[in-house]
Structure 1
Amino acid sequence: MATSSRKRVNGQTRVSDKNQVTLAVQALRDAGIAPGDELRVEASGPGTIVLTRVPSEAELDLAVVEATAGALDGVYAPGYLDELRRNDRGPDW
């Protein structure tokens, strides 16, 4: 059994016979990528591959809420929606 005398360099990896690579844990942590995250893989030029974390459904939903929250400020007079609720649900609401 031959052993490689080539020293491993921190932050480098090798493509396996199955075209797989192992990514450095610190690089994953620095990028905010965790086990189970989905990644988009794109070639951005010769010798360069870019991995981008794909947002989860929950993150996408939250982004929509944050983008639209407050979009209707000023459309209704102050107290108008509370009045509608009282009319709909009764005076004890």
Structure 2
Amino acid sequence: MSSQRQVTIPAEAFRSAGFAVGDQLAARSDGPGRVTFERVDDVLAEFAGALTGVYEPDELDKLRDEWD
């Protein structure tokens, strides 16, 4: 562990966990001397495009215009 509390994940553990460079990780203490890292999912990215084809082109713009 560095003086800035940074750790290096060994390559084999990194690959085995299915992590990718750029992943955001959350750290959780599992008791004295144990820390678990979990990938933080991007909720917005998961749903982006989920409603493609549900609305006609410009339909949402027309609905938004009604708000004014």
- Which band: TM-score by shorter chain? 0.5 to 0.7
State the distance in 2 between where 1:21 and 1:53 align: 16
TM-score under structure 1 normalisation? Answer: 0.45
- Aligned partners of 1:25 and 1:47: how far apart in 2? 21
SS at match of 1:50: strand
- 1:50-65 matches, within 5 Å, as 50-56=36-42, 57-59=44-46, 61=47
Return the alpha-carbon distance in structure 2 between the equivalents of residues 40 and 21 of structure 1: 13
Establish whether residue 45 from structure 1 lines up as the match of residue 31 from structure 2.
Answer: yes
Per-residue deviation at 1:30? Answer: 0.8
State the number of aligned residues: 48
Is the radius of gyration larger for structure 1 or structure 2? 1
Structure 2-normalised TM-score? 0.60
The answer on 1:17 being equivalent to 2:17 is no
1:55 deviates by: 1.3
Give the aligned residue type for 1:50: T
Q: In structure 1, how many angstroms separate the alpha carbons of the residues matched to 2:23 and 2:45?
A: 13
SS in 1 for 2:30: strand
**AA partner of residue 35 (structure 1):** V
C-alpha deviation, 1:58, in angstroms: 2.3
Unaligned runs of 5+ in 2: 51-68
Question: Which structure is higher in helix share?
Answer: 1
